[in-house]
Structure 1
């Protein structure tokens, strides 16, 4: 059964909000590790990279939630076509459709 974006928006919003919280919690935890003598068991370079990934996750989910509130969620940033709902269910913060993403 195919779900339209209108039917799935609330579920996608809830998923994005959960992901935002998870990324925020992870960022908080990793930041605490930077202050520990043993860096929470991570080498400094790995810890720095994990923090970057968490920051990117916070930013991507925040941008997706902003697009949702502006009414532009689910529209490809590059071609302007609708991003298939199935893609958004897999990657709710997607900014591009698969063909545009593959073109880089």
Structure 2
């Protein structure tokens, strides 16, 4: 178990991911130029925005999973090996689900 309350950090992360996703969705919803060359560039930019949106949504899922672990009392336990996740790691990455050793092995 960890000696700090990760809820404020998780709340902040959730808010940041949500704000980012909302802004990206707004950008994706804008109309494109009638000029073909410019439209091609805009569509290419849309591909980048979709990738950024996927990252923000993945971050929101990780925060949600961390909140579930908090609720069931498993927050701070590595999902792979079951050992405690280093508090330094959790302070830096509040939604971390793996200890450093397992994170290196998973990546």
Aligned to 1:54: 56
SS of 2:104's partner is: helix
Q: Could you tell me which residue of structure 2 aligns to residue 28 of structure 1?
A: 22
Aligned length: 96
Q: Does 2:10 align with 1:16?
A: yes
Tell me how far apart the structure 1 counterparts of residues 16 and 102 of structure 2 sit (CA, whole Å).
Answer: 28
1:5 maps to which residue?
2
Indicate the residue corresponding to 1:65 in structure 2. 67
TM-score (normalizing by structure 1):
0.85
Runs of 4+ in structure 1 deviating by more than 2 angstroms, as ranges, are none
2: CA distance between counterparts of 1:5 and 1:67? 12
The alignment's C-alpha RMSD in Å is: 1.6
